[in-house]
Structure 1
């Protein structure tokens, strides 16, 4: 029966339940009606019998009194016939039956004995019996009619319930199906039919619940993803244990630290008991049992065993985990290797023992301490730095003579014990900004931490820096300040000079290429704003390479200086004359009108041709070729404008040199110049046809002149003239612009490593990589692979990076240098000193060697300023533990100076020239 009911739908269950209730209620109602009807009929019957009895009492009193039996009989028969009585029996006073009619009484009949009395005198009695069949018949009729009505009511109720519950059940069915879809994982469930009734509210509640479940599931997935992103990739070994000590989760670090896979730990091991060293297992298991009670702990030291049989010291940390309801779920624990800490502790214990031994000798050194103090005072007195010790209360306890001289305080003035502000008030120096210094002084006296360098501007132009160091005793208690003052006026002047050099050509004093490009960009903007035109002139010295090679670099440098001086007199103040490199010069003419550029070009060509130049008894005649390009007439941007001026210069050379030309785009010469300047194609051909070759120049130890290593220098064979070599200055800048420099760098690396691999006896070789390669992340991997393939000792390869490229992208340079050092290669910072912030950047670039730029080495014997710069660079580099290379050493006097300055390595024409078959390549040192 229960199974049958369980298979019925809710609709039928509700209908049957309602019908059953209604049937029970109707049954009670019919039963109650039958009972009430029976009681009413019984009361009516009793009332009838009573009334008949009273009537007979009155009617039979006279006949009984007269003993008139016949009258009694007539009265009784008449009454029985009209009244429907079942039986009437009359007795006289002697209890004699006077007359009786009808049969005996049944159980359901109503019987009444009515005495017949008058004035207290009893004359007899009459017994009446009324039949009860009419009550039974009335009851049957009532039950039949009630059952018919009840059946009709039940039928109508069933129909109404079936109709009314259909819609309700359908909505419940929709809820059931939606719930089943959610249980199956479909969270995108939303029901229609929300309303004000209870089911509509239930549907609305279900939709909100589904949205909340979907949101919580998504958030749970996100949290799970975050958890795995954090927990799976932590450096430490992480795991979770249930309150019973069962392993629930372990992160993948277990394989790296122990050698076990996650699956081995989860399914085949008693983790973590199996990984604990046997000697530590009992104590650790006790600790874990205590931890599983919900306690937290950290730093518990134990030994952990690896799969390979080894072990290491580790620290175990754990904490209890509770759910949102606060129910304890187990513990999360981590294992962190403390092998290094144990080693440090061992070293520390040894150091403590040594310290205790040293303390026993303290009394012996007390006397020596006093002597040391005297020496320290002498040292501080001899320093060029101003030293001022100030006690915690702000009073002076020591100052050296340099402090008094720096602040122009008379030496006999006693400063000990004076407050600081009174000491500085005795100074004869005038502060440029006294209010700012007073505020700074108050702030420094309040602080007890190391402060940044503070610059003090003096009215006389001097710049003094102040450094504040807190002084503490052996227990770390603050006892005062140490102020160090340094007069950096000379250094600031030198820095200004370096800034000047950063945008000036070191040889001629003209603007360099970088500053020229800045001026060109600015001028082009002004030209666009005022709707005018500007012009760029490019010119170089004809056959300058022949003069330079035959007479030497000194003659070439002197010639360039003379040309710069002569042309400088022809250029107006608003025009820019720059040396772009080598013998290339450029002139920028803003707001040019009419034929001003052509007129100036004529004067320049004529002036160069008229320069009388005599060097070491030899007369040298100069000529120049000059090209002119206009903006915006010939080009739309700076690069095109410079290229057009360069083409025009070559057009002038093709016209016979010693002349000038305005750029012509429709001539045959222009086509030839474009072909000549298509360096991208020429570089590609050189790479494809093996037209590149390496020349090698020796780098020698300054002390004894022995060979340290070789530097590889690239050259290109001219495809049109195979006997002619093209120097890197002609194609490297263009290769950097086109991106082919990366291929050139890799060709040099492969070629040098091949030579090192083929001949293990040749010395180390230095190569130059471009600034573009610094930002190439795959280059260290390329070098490492090539080193391993050639079985080359990494230290035999030295990589030179120019300072300009390194400073322009310090982040990439640091990564490249660190990667090369990890490979084991040597790293050299080339062209050091060309940037005015060289010293500042040097501490960020962890190179092994610095190579001082040649502009400081040329004519070193005759240039006092360059001697100062070189000495400073050598001092800083050696102080930082780096070796120093000086290039462009072209005479013995320069070499002697470099030896005196402490330079480690030297390189230049005085020692040897770059050649392809250097003797050292045959294994000779």
Structure 2
């Protein structure tokens, strides 16, 4: 490139050089214009966003303080729509997103986070986003227009330069060579060829100039030495600008004051424009243009930016410079730091402003204080807590109306200014322990720290809690006590009621099985320590199921309540009467002597036989069979004792009922006991060793035969013959008797949840819950925790509850069904139709599905009566909005008839049999 340029003539070199210089200058001007335009637009945009944020914060203060989300949304939507904002988001003081209008911005957008505060209270914050796209558009338009002008100017300049350069080049070459010699230090150059034309005159002028240069250089060197001796060591920044505003010289003080070197200022900066603070630059450039016209000035104040990013105030003084001939050479200016002076002026202005507004502020503060006091009094009066403010000297400053009502103090009594001891003496309420409260009161008044909650017992049964908080001013000085009183009587009563419900039978109010087991364990320990015997008495109502089936469960429930009342009158204070479930009752007799248990059993038998029970005009006679087992004579632990009392009860039934029997260890009883204990051990062993497994049977849609869901059925593996499975009919009833059914239910639920978690695409699975599990209050929480931990959608888990178990304890069943539905699980009422009052109880059980008992489905095509029953059950269930499942579908004719009746789902051996590896669980079925 250089070689090519070197081969060009001077004419073209001058032309290209001039064009290049002009192009560079135009590019700099365009770049400078773009920068100024962008800076100005950014400043306007940022100022607009800040002002908008401050305005919005003021507008949102009241809605945020009142938690009026709707008003917040209206204000934000209106501002985002009419204010040209890209996004507005409002969060409250707890970081909750109250409302957001618009979408998130990009990196080029303008963002402002404006806190919403008032009187030192933080109510939230507002995020605003203004699109920065308009800056890019303005910059592009400016560049296009400037480039068009620059290209036109370059074209005109090139044409003029090409025409003006001609034959003068050669004579200029002479001057060039002479100039080169002078540049090399040869000041004795003198040219020939002076003439009348311009170049001749230029040569003459060059000769005279060379002579003058020799003279002036000598003088300049002397003057320069004197100048630098003065200028370089001044305290202020001194500089010289050409008439065009170009920096010609600057003294070294610039490095000390601004951090820039002399070379940086001369070579790289538009001094002083680039160092002026952006906020002052516009006005300062106007002054600079006026100064460059030859005017003088002093004391102009502006801010100057240092290289490290800081800034300070300076006073600028300038005056024009003329040479010896009076020709204008630019301006000489100085920068003198006045930072201290500006700080002093600002402080004086602030002080004056504060003095002028002091009186206004005082009036405003008084008004606001009075308003705040009114609001505070209203708030404290509306609270349901007793509030008492006490001064450091123990005198009352304030109390709200609730405090007076809580302590039964007359509303007309004036308490302000009284000592707190005297205030409480005016209370009509009587303390249960006045001495303890007096000591507590003295201790609280002596301390300046927060105290723990103190309970105050009243003789009327109320319980009031007291909390003490120290009150301090802004400097942390103690200015009194805040006492908060709360009547927690209802909460305590509720807690006691919950404890009562946890260990009481909901129907009869007697102890439930859980509390009975606790009392039995404690009584057996006491018997061991005291070397005395105790006994367990088991009894149930003979033919109770017949009463339920014949007269309905309402009659059965009323009879159970009557029996519980009659037997409660027979037991002593230290004896425990409990309802274990259904019609089963137990009595725990501690510290027995002689034949007390037999005597009580005889009274129980006679008392129940003599109960005059009438229901809906019908007289009913009920009897009981009672079994007695002694500890330690008949058993060594609680399970054995309960089992032997149960066996004794059945011995009484075998003896003709309406009697009692003490456990008799004959061969039949031993055989039954061994069978029960053996199965109890086998069930426990199966749970410990993982011998239970799940088989699955499909439940299909009746209309198209598609799989709806699976039912999980538990099986036990025979430990001694692993290839043999033990069906539920052999161990479920015994597990219910021993209580291990609860563990089996939990195992089935856990395994099903894990299977659903491991296979997200398999169908829903139904599991069966036993009647004992319905009374377990912690079971829904266990199920919910398992579903959350495994990440399983609750709707994929369905629970089947038998109708007999549900109506046996309707309240427990209703609570369990409601809890499962709140979790999101499906609920099915199994074995529907076996009870006498099935239709009556269906409206009380909020289930999704009913499953018709198999006794109505077997041989359905050949049994007209069952056809009528099934049609009735389907009609009622569908009318109540519940789907219907029919089980035991064993042939095509039955399936066709069920479809005709409108049954939704079907299940049975005709469709598939229960297997461990059901096709719906296979990987290829899942992927399909």
Larger radius of gyration: 1
Q: TM-score range by the shorter chain?
A: 0.3 to 0.5
**Structure 1 length-normalised TM:** 0.41
Give the TM-score of the pair, scaled to structure 2. 0.41
